[in-house]
Structure 1
Amino acid sequence: MSIIQRIATRLGYEQRAAGGDPYWSNFASLQSGPVNATTAQGVSAVYACVSAISETVASLPLILFKRAGEDRQRATDHPLYAVLHDQANEQQTALEFREWMQAAVLLRGNAYAKIIRRNDGQVSELLPMSPDRVTVLRVGDKLGYEYTDYSGQVSRLLSSEVLHLRHRLGDDGVLGVSPIAAAKGVIQLAISEHQHGINTFDNSTRLGGILKIPGKLNQEQKTNLAASWSTQHGGGTNAGKTAILESGVEFQPISMTLEDADWIAARQFSVTEVARLFRCPPTVIGDLTYGNYSNSVEMARQFVTMTLRRHLVAWEQAISKQLLTPAGRVMYFAEHQVEGLLRGDSVNRADYYTKGIAAGWMLPSEARRLENLPTIEGIDHANSTQAA
């Protein structure tokens, strides 16, 4: 605890948010090691879910709009527009920054960025801060943040100086709880299954059993025989070699095969469990066990509406609350453009545009713009003439 923290605690001004951050320091080290953000990503399903969500969220256009009566227009002249859409800071593009922040939310439950403002109060940069180096503090009914940089310097920031994104809130109502922390047993099982497979192939799936020898051996003879057998026949590189037994030695296999242990089925179930944990359709992370052409489009739609929507809204509301001034919130708002993910294949898009144009709520020029096609002068007028 720093000197400032001890003084504040002694005076009764500070109370740490329950739970602390990071969560990993309290995790028990189980047989296959502790479950944390690093070990969890060793599970391919976890890495795929985090990648699918964070990469998609980061690559979606995040546009700052300006209200103009009943309509809206892009606020390209606002300083925050470039920070969200082009470059977040001197080292990171907007995509790299948002991908890093979203991955931190999924893996650690919280993501933090220091807000750098110009003299007029507008945001000019967002600097990411490692969740492992941030402590959330309660000062009365307000929040503060203590950040220790890589040089060991400690700084305290007000809530207005930090962009804080959170996963589902914990009991303290302040810190987010990541899916990994909430259901670490699911990840632990997947890690154990993965380790089991490695150990099985390292020790070779063949020639596992008992060596039966006539007579009685002393301890030294047992040790030498076991070491000799392991050297010649243990490990994947020795799998399949022919064993030569002498002096009445008999080999009796007892090991279970991978099929006998239902290892493959268990690995498949872990993929489904992890996908469920992140609310990610299995087809999105490459599990096509139940995927086919007819339901893949619907799975992609569910990925947007059921997986991404919560994260997208969290970004939009955090931007409004923490990056815009009170006066700015009245005029400006940020919004992701997800139409490209929802349009589906070419047949469905063509049907969507045809019905929209026929019903009068979409213009041909708007349909071409959504398809990134060049503008055709007078196409809207020609279409209205043909309809008449």
Structure 2
Amino acid sequence: MMKRIKGLFERRSTNQAVGGDSYWTDFAALRSGPVNPSTAQSISAVYACVQAIAETTASLPLILYRRNGDGRERATDHPLYRVLREAPNEQQTALEFREWMQACVLLRGNAFAKIEVAWDGQVRGLVPLSPDRVQVLDVAGKLAYDYTTKDGTVTRLLAGEVLHLRHRAGDDGVMGVSPITAAREVVQLAMAERDHGNAAFNNGTRLSGVLKAPGVLKPDQRQALKTSWSSQYAGAANAGKVPVLEAGMEYQAISMTLEDAEWIAARQFSVEEIARLFRVPPTVIGDLRHGNYSNSVEMARQFVTLTLRRHLLMWEQSISHKLLTDAGRRIYFAEHSVEGLLRGDAVNRADFYDKGISAGWLTIDEARKLENLPARQVSDKFKPSSPPPGVKP
């Protein structure tokens, strides 16, 4: 039986010449370690994707609105408004809290926060819980959360006491699965490519090969030769030195160079693969090889509509489901203001306001309010370039 099982994992063919195809052999030999949130972020593309989504999501204004007869208005008098806009707890600002929670969703698949409710039943705070110390339980068909503190104390929280954000759920429909877990091998290959390059540069430009001697070397001669060769020609400081061979020795390279193996091209492809995992356009994370002005603008739009939209809806629906009561959901709702992405672009922001005012769906005072400016004492139906008679612009 053991012989049969062993045969299932036996390598049938390598198609390698003498010395092998070291580009892939080296990857198999490298032990990059396990893929986890910490090691995955050591890959710049993973860090950049998480940074782009988490920072952008957290920096967008998240506003609690109150429905009224004319549409909606900001519910600035509601306790939850301050929690979402200013400080959910004593240690973090709203941006820091949301950025940390969003990063947990992307790297671990789940993010948890304890909901603090005041005597009046309103949410007054959100305290982040480390996903590594949370165990999700199914108790009589309802979820419960066991949280282990640093001193080992276990606290059980009911479903209504925890804000649980998740990436796309796995087979159980409860726990989210992060992109780096769903496609672990993609990240592992990027880590192996990085380690391969580090190893090559640590050894300078020396090719992997063998020194051929005309005769048989004694053990002490072999060790002395190895030590001498490593000290003189290995390492970045010795890159480019010309080796001097004595006593009829010859150097024979048995592996491919970085250029022959197209290591750089493989590294670039890994960036595209990881960007595909997180659904982030490559130009957003700094890969401009195929970017130009036209498609960069379009990919920036896709970043909002295709990448961020899912995460923004996750926050808005979770807030409605967990942080508002049944009666509160009929009156209040939370929504992100994606116009916040134009905050650093004065030209596009001005064009956005101009088109809205010209089309009639935005008034001058509403545009000024978005810019944190006081209202004008003129009728909204007039544009600044066409003031009403007798009124100076």
Please say if residues 115 and 125 of structure 2, whose CA atoms lie closer than 8 Å, have aligned partners that are also in contact: yes
Residue 215, structure 1, aligned to residue 215, structure 2: yes
Equivalent residue number for residue 176 of structure 2: 176
Residue 116, structure 1, aligned to residue 135, structure 2: no
Q: Distance in 2 between matches of 1:117 and 1:344?
A: 36
- Written as runs of structure 1 = structure 2, the 5 A alignment for 1:353-372 is 353-371=353-371
List gaps (5 residues or longer) in structure 1.
Answer: 1-29
Q: Which moved more, 1:353-362 or 1:142-151?
A: 353-362
**Deviation at 1:193?**
0.6
Q: Output the amino acid matched with 2:191.
A: I
Equivalent residue number for residue 322 of structure 2: 322
> In the superposition, relative to structure 1, how do residues 305 and 264 fare at CA in structure 2: closer, same or farther (>3 Å)?
same
For residues 78-98 of structure 1, the C-alpha deviation after alignment (integer angstroms, 9 at most, x for no partner) is 111111100010111111110
Q: Output the amino acid matched with 1:319.
A: I
> In the superposition, relative to structure 1, how do residues 225 and 280 fare at CA in structure 2: closer, same or farther (>3 Å)?
same
Equivalent residue number for residue 8 of structure 2: none
Equivalent residue number for residue 273 of structure 1: 273
- Written as runs of structure 1 = structure 2, the 5 A alignment for 1:91-240 is 91-240=91-240
**Deviation at 1:368?**
3.8
**Deviation at 1:231?**
2.1
Please say if residues 148 and 154 of structure 1, whose CA atoms lie closer than 8 Å, have aligned partners that are also in contact: yes
Q: Distance in 2 between matches of 1:47 and 1:153?
A: 33
Q: Output the amino acid matched with 1:281.
A: P
Please say if residues 297 and 344 of structure 1, whose CA atoms lie closer than 8 Å, have aligned partners that are also in contact: no
Q: Distance in 1 between matches of 2:374 and 2:253?
A: 70
For residues 284-308 of structure 1, the C-alpha deviation after alignment (integer angstroms, 9 at most, x for no partner) is 1011111111122211111111000
TM-score, length of structure 1 as denominator length: 0.87
Residue aligned with 2:99, SS = helix
Q: Output the amino acid matched with 2:288.
A: L
**Deviation at 1:355?**
3.6
**Deviation at 1:358?**
2.8
Please say if residues 108 and 178 of structure 1, whose CA atoms lie closer than 8 Å, have aligned partners that are also in contact: yes
For residues 319-365 of structure 1, the C-alpha deviation after alignment (integer angstroms, 9 at most, x for no partner) is 11111112211111111100233699656555544443233222233
Q: Output the amino acid matched with 1:166.
A: R
Q: Which moved more, 1:260-269 or 1:375-384?
A: 375-384
Equivalent residue number for residue 340 of structure 2: 340
Residue aligned with 1:380, SS = coil
**Deviation at 1:221?**
2.5
List gaps (5 residues or longer) in structure 2.
Answer: 1-29
Q: Which moved more, 1:337-346 or 1:157-166?
A: 337-346
For residues 3-59 of structure 1, the C-alpha deviation after alignment (integer angstroms, 9 at most, x for no partner) is xxxxxxxxxxxxxxxxxxxxxxxxxxx831111101000000000000000001111
Residue aligned with 1:35, SS = coil
Q: Which moved more, 1:57-66 or 1:210-219?
A: 210-219
Q: Which moved more, 1:236-245 or 1:314-323?
A: 236-245
Q: Distance in 2 between matches of 1:198 and 1:206?
A: 13
Q: Distance in 2 between matches of 1:293 and 1:328?
A: 45
> In the superposition, relative to structure 1, how do residues 206 and 387 fare at CA in structure 2: closer, same or farther (>3 Å)?
farther
Q: Distance in 1 between matches of 2:210 and 2:256?
A: 13
**Deviation at 1:274?**
0.3
Equivalent residue number for residue 79 of structure 1: 79
Q: Distance in 1 between matches of 2:302 and 2:170?
A: 26
Please say if residues 320 and 333 of structure 2, whose CA atoms lie closer than 8 Å, have aligned partners that are also in contact: yes
Residue 62, structure 1, aligned to residue 62, structure 2: yes
For residues 169-189 of structure 1, the C-alpha deviation after alignment (integer angstroms, 9 at most, x for no partner) is 110011000001100011011
TM-score, length of structure 2 as denominator length: 0.86
Please say if residues 60 and 337 of structure 1, whose CA atoms lie closer than 8 Å, have aligned partners that are also in contact: yes
Could you list the runs of 4 or more consecutive aligned residues of structure 1 that deviate by over 6 angstroms after TM superposition?
Answer: none
CA RMSD after TM alignment: 2.2
Please say if residues 58 and 98 of structure 1, whose CA atoms lie closer than 8 Å, have aligned partners that are also in contact: yes
The size of the alignment, in residue pairs, is 360
> In the superposition, relative to structure 1, how do residues 373 and 116 fare at CA in structure 2: closer, same or farther (>3 Å)?
closer
Q: Which moved more, 1:94-103 or 1:369-378?
A: 369-378
> In the superposition, relative to structure 1, how do residues 222 and 91 fare at CA in structure 2: closer, same or farther (>3 Å)?
same
For residues 261-292 of structure 1, the C-alpha deviation after alignment (integer angstroms, 9 at most, x for no partner) is 11000000000000000000111101111111
Task: Among all aligned residue pairs of Structure 1 and Structure 2, give the percentage whose two residues are the same amino acid.
Answer: 67
Residue aligned with 2:380, SS = helix
Q: Distance in 2 between matches of 1:129 and 1:67?
A: 32
Q: Distance in 2 between matches of 1:386 and 1:79?
A: 41
Q: Which moved more, 1:234-243 or 1:314-323?
A: 234-243
> In the superposition, relative to structure 1, how do residues 355 and 90 fare at CA in structure 2: closer, same or farther (>3 Å)?
closer
> In the superposition, relative to structure 1, how do residues 245 and 379 fare at CA in structure 2: closer, same or farther (>3 Å)?
farther
Q: Which moved more, 1:212-221 or 1:48-57?
A: 212-221
